[in-house]
Structure 1
């Protein structure tokens, strides 16, 4: 077999279904929605509506979220069709392997490794900072040496709380999908209740005059704002990584993915509406606009509760993304592209080796490395997956061996093509240094694939 033929050999869906049978199907539609909301609604809901309104969109930020939702919804529908047709672990990685071939699947998997690890590491650092501030309110202060990444010149050596929260979440995940899902559901409910508390309290202090002018930056501000808030939705795709552990995936996967976007859009729009109604948009360019708005109206107690909501939001995001990352490594180990021991599961039917590797990488990055310049790489990894999965609907529909009795993207083939084009358009707005750094990352991935993955692929056995 030639090199090119090996690179584009396609995996069998039936083979994936057989190998993933060692994972228990315990999750329902509401579990998936809670997972998605837990990921998408993080601390950003208390920050983005204010800062983007102040700098880019004004009160028209509500329209920016709607535009961003439309773009994400197109990609979400493509993910929903794939997960309904192919209820296997690995999300975009597995879909690419079956529809396009091994090399495309590998590139998608390598892109998602970037998304999962960097996003969790970045949020872990944010969670640590928020938690230290929270403890400071009670007069508890930890030594400076344990408060930040390794930088002896500033007196910091390790971000202790960032490492501890990652270890705690990984421990929870090794206890089994059912127990970790139950905990995630509880925390997501608490987080949503805290958001509703802000909406109810804040509504009494809304001044309609603060919404005038509605579009101070013009209609262009809506679209600039949409590109800024688009990244608030990144992470909903990790819901599809749970497909192999979902009951009745043909029905529940589309509900989970599209339901996540629907609920998150309502929450983002309502928070934006109340926030810009409470405070004039020009005053909202602060690190914590929601708390700032509540303090202006002397609701300090509610502002303190919002801090708990931010911690809960970051916790559920990390829980879901570490889950998704471990299932991705599990899938790559299943196919032999990474060491096979990543495919093993423990007595709780959890791929514990994959969880361990993800934990070590994220803990080291969040505890010792400055992530300021790396965080934007999360976006490019996700957008690459969006583009390929959107275009993947075209060959998927032509596969007679993959019948789909579940969800299908409407207005085929136009919507998948539009989805890919819009994601590409947003990708072109990323900084040049981000693109160049991503190219280095993907070059390393290709070196790993050709030196290890191709030679150890399980598909070699079928040749």
Structure 2
């Protein structure tokens, strides 16, 4: 039992024990991290999720749902900020857990992050293909076989973005700056044009009386309560759980810590700023959506597009299509980067084959693991009905959020001497609130999602017991490090 609970010493989490801890070149600056965060947190959902949740769950109160989800994610973000400022490594929550709770828990979190990031890349790529086909159709072009065209487009975008990440972080960063800038221009156009078509009567009193649904309870909370409800405060909080899916991704910024200049201070700033900006933008779009059309008349399939067409501004449909495609493109790109860094860290710790931690001498990136991730994403997006499993992305992220919140509390007690570039205010109150908020979001997920998650984690634990436990670098005798070359002596 002591072997699977062994902890990684804090000094080694960002040291040269593996001979590769700092083999990734420093590239990112605070502004780059903000762009990285906006690239992953703002996708096509910004044009649809407000309308969908207003129409089916929260009514005009969806604006409050966005605020609640934003606050819950901000609490988690503050916890990530402290741990990433203390341990600026590409492993993010995986490495934090390795140091604070031990190896077996680190593996479990790493396995949850694989679920989150790998599935997210596949889900977003599949959505990208469908939206691209819809955008082509909106231009008046007849698509003879939409499903086949979508499959081809999914393959093309994943191959292209995987190649960009494999060829170098600098290339990916430049592409990200261009696409995020264009995406924000499209969103800005939606907000500005939409403001001219608001009707104050559509906001009502924000609160819509709750309504009991005839459907069987699906979420854990509904099972506990014994019924399904929509609207009212129950609906507002339920919508907040769904909206949290839109905000998830800020944690990926922490995976860039090892490649960030002055990471202990830059990463917390970049992470918090990107999430705050994203929250403001989401709320602004939600205000436009709810203000343009009554929640009882919102088209669930294309909320904003139909609202602008009803207002006689048909050309905005094309702006929304472009913004959605750019939004999803940046999300896929950042997800591949984040997944690469997590697996890279797990590989150099020996928990998965160490060959995946190889860094290309030519491109200075972990190209090998990047290609593996891209291939898996292609298989999932093309052959698995990932759109029906997108809640697995949420539960994987929330599971990591819970451990990070608890990690702040435990690390303050066990390792008060560690230097921190950022400290969570009012600790342990804020981390405790973050943990409670995360658990609330988790109980609002479907029982089926929990069942799939438990099966995935059980399989992951088996993989660890069969492979990771025996191949971990902590299971091997320590070897001296060459003080000149920074590598292990043979």
Q: TM-score, normalising length from structure 1?
A: 0.94
1:402–1:355 CA distance, 2 compared to 1 (3 A)? farther
Counterparts of residues 175-254 of structure 1 (less than 5 Å): 175-217=167-209, 218-254=232-268
Partner of residue 484, structure 2: none
Partner of residue 385, structure 2: 370
- Residue 3 of structure 2 aligns to a residue whose secondary structure is helix
Q: Give deviations 1:436-458, integer Å, cap 9, x for gaps.
A: 11111111101110111011111
The CA RMSD over aligned residues, in Å, is 1.6
Distance 2:147 2:293 in 1: 38
Mapped contact 2:392–2:453 kept (Cα < 8 A): yes
Distance 2:448 2:95 in 1: 29
Partner of residue 69, structure 2: 68
Partner of residue 6, structure 1: 3
**Ranges in structure 2 where 5+ consecutive residues have no aligned partner:** 210-231, 479-490
Distance 1:426 1:293 in 2: 30
Residue 145 of structure 1, CA deviation: 6.5
Residue 107 of structure 1, CA deviation: 0.2
Q: Give deviations 1:156-183, integer Å, cap 9, x for gaps.
A: xxx2211211111011111211221121
Partner of residue 56, structure 1: 57
Mapped contact 1:78–1:409 kept (Cα < 8 A): yes
Residue 186 of structure 1, CA deviation: 1.4
Partner of residue 226, structure 2: none
Range 273-282 or range 317-326, more displaced = 273-282
Partner of residue 155, structure 1: none
Q: Give deviations 1:375-413, integer Å, cap 9, x for gaps.
A: 211111111101111000122223448622411111111
Counterparts of residues 57-136 of structure 1 (less than 5 Å): 57-136=58-137
Mapped contact 1:85–1:402 kept (Cα < 8 A): no
Partner of residue 141, structure 2: 139
Q: Give deviations 1:212-235, integer Å, cap 9, x for gaps.
A: 232124344332221221221111
Partner of residue 404, structure 1: 419
Range 445-454 or range 53-62, more displaced = 53-62
Distance 1:6 1:240 in 2: 28
- Residue 300 of structure 1 aligns to a residue whose secondary structure is coil
1:290 correspondence with 2:291: no
Distance 2:406 2:477 in 1: 28
1:72–1:144 CA distance, 2 compared to 1 (3 A)? closer
Partner of residue 156, structure 1: none
Partner of residue 31, structure 1: 32
- Residue 20 of structure 1 aligns to a residue whose secondary structure is coil
Distance 1:402 1:376 in 2: 39
Q: Give deviations 1:36-77, integer Å, cap 9, x for gaps.
A: 111111011000111111122222211111111111111110
Distance 1:384 1:400 in 2: 23
- Residue 256 of structure 2 aligns to a residue whose secondary structure is helix
Partner of residue 451, structure 2: 436
Partner of residue 152, structure 1: none
1:270 correspondence with 2:284: yes
Distance 2:147 2:78 in 1: 47
Mapped contact 2:299–2:306 kept (Cα < 8 A): no
Partner of residue 154, structure 1: none
Mapped contact 2:82–2:420 kept (Cα < 8 A): no
Residue 462 of structure 1, CA deviation: 3.2
Residue 135 of structure 1, CA deviation: 2.4
Mapped contact 1:160–1:367 kept (Cα < 8 A): no
- Residue 21 of structure 1 aligns to a residue whose secondary structure is coil
Mapped contact 1:380–1:438 kept (Cα < 8 A): yes
Distance 2:135 2:365 in 1: 33
- Residue 452 of structure 2 aligns to a residue whose secondary structure is helix
Q: Give deviations 1:191-220, integer Å, cap 9, x for gaps.
A: 111111011111111111111232124344
- Residue 388 of structure 2 aligns to a residue whose secondary structure is coil
Mapped contact 2:238–2:444 kept (Cα < 8 A): no
Distance 1:182 1:454 in 2: 39
Residue 360 of structure 1, CA deviation: 0.8
- Residue 462 of structure 2 aligns to a residue whose secondary structure is helix
Residue 90 of structure 1, CA deviation: 1.1
Q: Give deviations 1:352-383, integer Å, cap 9, x for gaps.
A: 11101111110011012212432211111111
Aligned length: 450
Distance 1:59 1:29 in 2: 36
Distance 1:192 1:422 in 2: 29
Mapped contact 1:76–1:257 kept (Cα < 8 A): yes
